[in-house]
């Protein structure tokens, strides 16, 4: 299956072109990619996912921005709409629903608490379902997710899943293909290459999406 409507920008950021509309997910460090946004989906308020600076580059007053309820105030002056887990929404004729995203591993629980109500998204792209997991560990809710493409965050062991944990998550999710995201700045160039190879080798029907932009930052 091809996903020509979907471009990986950088880190956990994506651009979707659907029905003549442009949607962004967690736009971050935008440089060459600055198409006007009809809608933007934000998973949670951390700076590498909710970047007001980058939102300003592509959004205007008509852009619908969906963001967890605890973060609506961060987008004052924008057309921001609060979302919560396990709900369905529509923007510009594009349907999507929210799923919980949180940490369960002991040393990471404080980074993405379940009580915060942060989310991942399942977007219905003309009958093709794309699951963007947001920042999360392997959680029980993944057992009920059905998608064509699952975008799973990998981040060493500090913020989100390790490669091995993401592989276990992929076994629970009912998806046709999988791609790791979020990892290049966290693992460095060599570590990212190894993570990508391991993930795609071990996950059946794995697919690695090519980034539009080269990573230009690091959390190291």
Q: How confident is the model at residue 182 (pLDDT cuts 50, 70, 90)?
A: confident
Mind listing the pLDDT tens digit for each residue in 3-12?
A: 999 999 988 9
Map out the domains of the chain with their CATH numbers.
6-202 (3.60.15.10)
Residues 6+ apart with CB under 8 A from 115: none
Contact between 177 and 150 (Cβ < 8 Å)? yes
Whether pLDDT at 92 is above 70: yes
Whether pLDDT at 19 is above 70: yes
Tokens encoding 198: 């391991």
Percent of the chain with pLDDT strictly greater than 70: 96
Mind listing the pLDDT tens digit for each residue in 104-118?
A: 999 999 999 999 999
> What is the chain's mean pLDDT, rounded?
92
Q: How confident is the model at residue 217 (pLDDT cuts 50, 70, 90)?
A: low
Q: What is the pTM of this model?
A: 0.94
**Following DSSP, what letter does each residue of the chain receive, concatenated?**
---TTEEEEETTEEEEEETTEEEEES--S-SS--PPPSEEE---SSTTTS-HHHHHHH--TT-EEEEEGGGGGGGTTSEEEEE-TT-EEEETTEEEEEEE----SGGGTTTS-GGG--EEEEEEETTEEEEE--S--S-GGGGG-EEEEEEEEB-TTTSSB-HHHHHHHHHHSEEEEEEEES-HHHHHHHHHHHHHHHHHHHSTTB--PPBSS-------
Contact between 39 and 94 (Cβ < 8 Å)? yes
The arithmetic mean of pLDDT across residues 58-86, rounded, is: 97
**Which residue has better confidence, 199 or 52?**
52
**Which residue has better confidence, 212 or 218?**
212
């Amino acid at each position: 299956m091809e996903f020509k409507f979907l471009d990986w920008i950088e880190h956990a950021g994506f651009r979707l072109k659907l029905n003549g509309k442009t949607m962004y997910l967690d736009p971050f460090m935008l440089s060459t990619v600055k198409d006007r946004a009809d809608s933007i989906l934000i998973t949670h308020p951390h700076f590498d996912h909710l970047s007001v600076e980058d939102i300003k580059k592509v959004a205007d007053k008509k852009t619908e921005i969906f963001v967890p309820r605890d973060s609506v105030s961060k987008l004052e002056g924008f057309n921001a709409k609060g979302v919560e887990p396990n709900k369905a929404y529509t923007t510009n004729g594009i349907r999507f629903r929210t799923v919980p995203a949180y940490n369960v591993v002991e040393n990471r629980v404080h980074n993405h608490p379940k009580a915060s109500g942060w989310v991942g998204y399942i977007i219905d792209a003309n009958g093709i379902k794309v699951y963007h997991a947001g920042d999360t560990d392997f959680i029980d809710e993944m057992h009920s997710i059905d998608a064509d493409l699952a975008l799973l965050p990998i981040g060493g062991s500090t913020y989100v899943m390790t490669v091995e944990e993401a592989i276990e998550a992929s076994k629970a999710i009912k998806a046709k293909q999988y791609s790791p995201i979020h990892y290049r700045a966290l693992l460095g160039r060599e570590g990212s290459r190894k993570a990508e190879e391991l993930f795609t080798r071990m996950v059946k029907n794995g697919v690695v999406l090519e980034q539009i932009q080269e990573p230009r930052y690091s959390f190291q």
